[in-house]
Structure 1
Amino acid sequence: MVKSRLTSLWLAAALVAATPVFGHEVVSYEIVGDAVPMALGGRVGDRQRGKVIVFDRRRGNCLICHTFPVANEPFQGDLGPALGDVGKRLSEGQIRLRLIDPLRLNPKSLMPAYYKVDGLREVAPEYQGKPALEAQEIEDVTAYLVSLKGQQ
């Protein structure tokens, strides 16, 4: 079965196999330590598109748990760390892995996996096998978060 084979590959080699997912391709990536150092599929992230995703309450929905240094965004959360200086605290690869699969680093994390598709629980049938964000969107959000150095 493809799903169990992919799970075995992931556990054995810390790689995610490329699999077509409802019109989206989940590209392979390698985890090195606590990071995914290479951009997904060699894509280049766009900081402005990433900011839109981060502040979109239906797409990234980052504001539900995190605070950002912006005055015009009410109802920011405090369950996760403030992200105003995340680009100073974490490398690009560390940010990327936290978006892809935060449970890999902290099994008790409340943050959803935005790019993982296997091994998830309580996923509505219409979303099963689909990443929450596409590879390009992960790179866009990563680019935006890397730009947050605390000087805003």
Structure 2
Amino acid sequence: MKLTGISAAVVFCATAAIANPVTPGDVQFDEYGAIQTSLSGTMGDAASGAKIMTSRAKGNCVACHAVTALKDAPFHGEVGPTLDGIADYRTAEELRGIIANAKMTFEGSIMPAFYKTSGFIRAGDGYTGKGAKEEDLTPILTAQEIEDVVAFLMTLKGS
């Protein structure tokens, strides 16, 4: 019976360790900007990812990218490439890196870094004459939300 209790404790501790998300400052990009492991430690949910991609309060990916699978969302943008069929030529690791910080893959990209909290250039407060605050910002998306968007993007395969 003791062995069962110890085994359960080991499984619980291992699961808890996996579920701890990687913080934005600890993200490891490879030389091409990909992130090899899940940021949240859990699989993404494609349905949640679709909602994030169309939510103006979150990712709002359709503001810049056309996505036929999200045709019910209004005003698809043309600033970025269409995301139709992206799973045919990008891996989940590449997509994770691009979403977290596209500049690690495409240096001149205007795509926002969705999982970055520091290193921004900020203007000061013009009304008070004070400089910008130096504390870290909150990331636009959480680790799990990035995994959800990656899961949705991996469903976008060509016909």
Q: Smaller-chain TM-score range?
A: 0.7 to 0.9
Tell me, yes or no, if structure 1 residue 45 matches structure 2 residue 44: yes
**What are structure 1's unaligned runs of at least 5 residues?**
1-23
User: What's the CA shift string for 1:84-108, capped at 9, x where partnerless?
Assistant: 1111110000000000110112221
Name the structure 1 match of 2:151.
143
> 2:27 is matched by which residue type in structure 1?
Y
User: Which whole-Å CA distance do the structure 2 matches of 1:146 and 1:64 have between them?
Assistant: 19
Determine helix, strand or coil for the equivalent of 1:102.
helix
> 1:29 is matched by which residue type in structure 2?
V
Tell me, yes or no, if structure 1 residue 33 matches structure 2 residue 41: no
Q: Structure 1 segments of 4 or more deviating over 6 A?
A: none
User: What's the CA shift string for 1:24-46, capped at 9, x where partnerless?
Assistant: 97263322232111101422111
User: Which whole-Å CA distance do the structure 1 matches of 2:27 and 2:42 have between them?
Assistant: 12
Identity of aligned residues (%): 33
The answer as to whether partners of 2:53 and 2:61 remain within 8 angstroms in 1 is yes
User: Which whole-Å CA distance do the structure 1 matches of 2:116 and 2:139 have between them?
Assistant: 6
Name the structure 1 match of 2:141.
133
> 1:102 is matched by which residue type in structure 2?
A
Deviation (angstroms), 1:128: 4.2
User: Which whole-Å CA distance do the structure 2 matches of 1:93 and 1:144 have between them?
Assistant: 13
> 1:109 is matched by which residue type in structure 2?
S
Matches within 5 A, 1:2-151: 26=23, 28-34=26-32, 35-69=34-68, 70-122=70-122, 128-151=136-159
**What are structure 2's unaligned runs of at least 5 residues?**
1-20, 124-131
| TM-score with structure 2 setting the length | 0.71
User: Which whole-Å CA distance do the structure 2 matches of 1:131 and 1:144 have between them?
Assistant: 20
**Count of residues in Structure 1 that have an aligned counterpart in Structure 2:** 127
The answer as to whether partners of 2:22 and 2:39 remain within 8 angstroms in 1 is no
Deviation (angstroms), 1:150: 2.4
User: Which whole-Å CA distance do the structure 1 matches of 2:121 and 2:31 have between them?
Assistant: 25
The answer as to whether partners of 1:65 and 1:77 remain within 8 angstroms in 2 is yes
The CA RMSD over aligned residues, in Å, is 2.2
User: Which whole-Å CA distance do the structure 1 matches of 2:140 and 2:31 have between them?
Assistant: 24
The answer as to whether partners of 2:44 and 2:144 remain within 8 angstroms in 1 is yes
> 2:50 is matched by which residue type in structure 1?
K
